[in-house]
Amino acid sequence: MAKNAGALSVYVLTGHGAKHREELLVTPEFVANDIVDATAWILKNINIAKSKKCAFQ
C-alpha cells in the first residue's frame, strides 16, 4: 500500500506485527521493534523520502 501511495513503508512488530510478519506480501523499507523505533527511523530518513518525492514530505 505504501508504494502505491508513493511513500516509504515501515512495519511495526508490536501488537500482532511479529505474529503476522511472515504473511507480508511486500518487503517494507524498515521493520521497527516498536512505535518509538519507527518514529526515529522516519525522522532520520525524512530527507530520503523528500528526494524520492514520497507522500510524507
pLDDT tens track for 23-43: 888 889 999 999 999 999 999
Q: How many other CB atoms are found less than 10 A from the CB of residue 32? A: 19
For residues 10 and 41, the answer to whether their CB atoms sit within 8 Å is yes
- Record the pTM: 0.71
Contact 31, 22 (CB under 8 A): no
CA-based torsion, 16, 25, 12, 3: positive or negative: negative
Q: What pLDDT does 6 receive? A: 78
Determine the pLDDT at residue 12. Answer: 92
Rounded distance, CA 27 to CA 49, Å? 17
Domain extents for the chain?
Answer: 10-51
Q: How many beta carbons lie within 10 A of that of residue 8, not counting itself?
A: 20
